[in-house]
Amino acid sequence: MLFDSHSHFNNEDLTSLERQALFSVVDTAVSEGRMSYAVDIGFDPESSKMAAEHAAVWPWCYAAVGCHPHDTKDMDDMKLALIKGLAANDKVVAIGEIGLDFHYDLSDRAVQREWFRKQIRLANELKMPIVIHAREADQEVMDILKEEGTFSEERKSWFARRPGGSWNDAGFASSAATEPDARVLLHCFSGSAELGKQYVKLGATISVAGPVTYKNNRKTVAMVEAIPLEYLLVETDSPYLAPVPHRGRRNIPLFVEFTARKVAEIKGISFEEAAKATKDNAMRFYGIR
Ligand SMILES: [Zn+2]
């Protein structure tokens, strides 16, 4: 019943034995009904290839392919063509993770920008959902997304509409209305409530990870409060960012439960409701039926 919208079975620190163990743990959870799906997210051409292979093997696994800003220093047009080829696989459901990371600056900023734009253009060409990684680059990420037509009416016209409602001073009221969906996901979102609302109004979707469970993370709690449940996903970003009570240890997709429990607590709903809503939202976002 839980959907981990962002994980890394393809992480290079896992030995193949550890990876097999991880797959069998999740497979058991799926057969017992505790989990439904996970998306293995590529961060460079090699890990994207692995993600597509994993998705081909495991029925509950889907893949995203793309190059993380950290790894853009090694990108070239051949590798972009490889990512494009992988994207043609049935179970590859998004381009990502792509974006800008000005916290670590592991690739030159000009290089990060160039490949962020090129990969957005690829997603637009292929009419695919986009998974965004943004760190200490909030304004520039939003500017580039807008400039590349990510929130354009044309792009929104490619995708099914999503549940909607109206915004007023008190927040958001769900209604029978639907609204356009740009299929842009801000993964492990750490921005403010205000920025989150701006993104949602543009047609984006927000995903929260383990940090929402961390003590004193009022900013992300306030953001979850402000964002309608219709537009929220949960993720682990495993093996990183394990939620409380596993903080500091290696994260696994099953721990998405703790993030969903925190979302339930913030929203004042049951865990089952939070799990189902975030799963339905993720299925809609990735186009999984
Ligand atoms: Zn990630």
pLDDT band at 203 (very low <50, low <70, confident <90, very high): very high
pTM: 0.96
| pLDDT value of position 170 | 77
Domain boundaries, the chain: 2-286
> What is the secondary structure of 158-206 as a DSSP string?
TS--EEEEEEETTEEEEEEEEE----EEETT--S-HHHHHHHHHHT-EE
Asked whether the predicted pLDDT for residue 171 surpasses 90, the reply is: no
Q: How far is the CA of 130 from the centre of ligand 1 (A)?
A: 13
For ligand 1, the distance from its centroid to the CA atom of residue 28, given in whole angstroms, is 23
Task: Give the pLDDT confidence score for residue 288 in this predicted structure.
Answer: 97
66 CA distance to ligand 1 centroid (A)?
Answer: 11
Per-residue pLDDT band at 166 (split at 50, 70, 90)? confident
Q: Is the pLDDT of residue 217 over 90?
A: yes
| CA of residue 95 to ligand 1 center, whole Å | 12
**240 alpha carbon to ligand 1 midpoint, in Å?**
8
Q: Is the pLDDT of residue 41 over 90?
A: yes
- Is the pLDDT reported for residue 168 higher than 90? no
Q: How far is the CA of 190 from the centre of ligand 1 (A)?
A: 13
Residue 161 pLDDT: 96
CA dihedral 278, 129, 42, 37 (to 10 degrees): 30
Share of the chain above pLDDT 70, in %: 100
pLDDT of residue 53: 98
pLDDT in tens, 236-283: 999 999 999 999 999 999 999 999 999 999 999 999 999 999 999 999
Selection from 239, 270, 264, 261 nearest residue 38 by Cα: 239
At 42, give phi and psi (nearest 5°).
-70, 150
Q: Calculate the average pLDDT of the chain.
A: 96
| Residue 29 predicted with pLDDT over 80 | yes
pLDDT digits (tens, 9 = 90+) for 115-164: 999 999 999 999 999 999 999 999 999 999 999 999 999 999 999 999 99
Give the per-residue pLDDT at 167: 84
Architecture of the domain made up of 2-286: Alpha-Beta Barrel (3.20)
Q: What angle do CA 168, 135, 70 make, to 5 degrees?
A: 145
